Amino acid sequence: MAQLVRQFASGIYNLILGLFTTTKHLGRHAITIQYPKERWDIPERSRGMVVLLTDHETGKLNCTACLLCMRACPSGAIDIEIEKDEKGKRHLVEFKVNYHICCFCGLCEESCNFAAIKLATKFEFPEFDKANLIWDSKKLAEMGFDVPYVKPVRKKPVAKKPAAKPVAKPDGDKPDGDKPTEAKPAEQKAAEDKPEEKPVTEAKAPEVKAAEEKPVEQVPDKKEESTGPEQSDSESKEDKTS
Partner 1 sequence: MAERLRTEEMIMNMGPQHPATHGVCRLILTIDGEVINDCVPVIGYLHRAIEKICENRTYAQCIPLLDRFEYVTSMSCNWAFALAAEKLTDLEIPERAEYLRVIMAELNRIASHLLCIGVTAMDLGALTPFLYTFREREFILDLFEMTCGQRLTYNYIWVGGVSKDIPPEFIPKCREFLDIIDEKCDDYEKILTKNPIWLVRNKGIGIIPEKMVHDYAISGPSARASGVNFDIRKHDSYGVYDRFDFDVPVFFGCDCYDRYRARMAEMRQSARIIRQALDQMSDGPVRAKVTMNFKPKPGEVYSRIENSRGEMGIYLVSDGTKKPFRMRARGGSYNHLMAIPEITRGLKIADLVALFASLDIILPEIDR
CA-nearest of 48, 51, 84 to 66 is 84
42-72 residues labelled b (16+ CB within 10 A) or e (exposed)? eeeeeeebbbbbbbeeeebbbbbbbbbbbbb
Among the listed residues 97, 119, 164, 183, the single contact to partner 1 using CB under 8 A: 119
Candidates 70, 82, 101, 107; binder of partner 1 (CB under 8 A) is 107
What's the min distance (Å) between Cβ of 220 and partner 1? 25
* Nearest alpha carbon to residue 113 among 143, 82, 144, 71: 71
**Dihedral over Cα of 161, 163, 168, 170: its sign:** negative
State yes or no: residue 122 binds partner 1 (CB under 8 A): no
| Of positions 26, 27, 34, 43, contacts partner 1 by CB under 8 A | 43
SS3 77: coil
**Residue 27 lies near partner 1 (rule: CB under 8 A):** no
CB closer to partner 1 out of 14 and 132: 14
**Interface of this chain with partner 1, residues 194 to 213, rule: CB under 8 A:** none
Beta carbon of residue 138, minimum distance to partner 1 (angstroms, whole number): 26
Give yes or no for residue 100 binding partner 1 (CB under 8 A): no
241 binds partner 1 (CB under 8 A): yes
Contact 140, 103 (CB under 8 A): no
Q: Looking only at residues 71 through 90 of this chain, which bind partner 1 when binding is defined by CB under 8 A?
A: 72-74
**Nearest residue (CB) to partner 1, 101 versus 134:** 101
Taking CB under 8 A as the binding criterion, the range among 5-13, 154-162, 165-173, 218-226 that sits at the site for partner 1 is: 5-13
Cα 106–Cα 109–Cα 110 angle in degrees, nearest 5: 85
Given 57, 81, 110, 202, the residue binding partner 1 (CB under 8 A): 110
- Rounded to 5°, the CA angle 196-201-203 comes to 140
Q: What's the min distance (Å) between Cβ of 16 and partner 1?
A: 10
**Among residues 6, 10, 88, 178, which is the contact residue for partner 1, using CB under 8 A?**
10
Count CB-CB contacts under 10 A for residue 27.
6
Contact call for residues 48 and 121 (beta carbons, < 8 A): yes
5 is a site residue for partner 1 (CB under 8 A)? no
Helix, strand, or coil here: 84? strand
Nearest partner of 187 among 206, 208, 213, judged by Cα: 208
Phi-psi region of 239 (alpha: psi -120 to 50; beta: other; left: phi over 0): alpha
Question: Does 101 help bind partner 1 (rule: CB under 8 A)?
Answer: no
Q: Which is nearer to partner 1, 119 or 163 (CB)?
A: 119
> Could you list the residues that contact partner 1 (CB under 8 A)?
7, 10-11, 14-15, 17-18, 20-22, 31, 43-47, 72-74, 103-107, 110-111, 119, 234, 237, 241
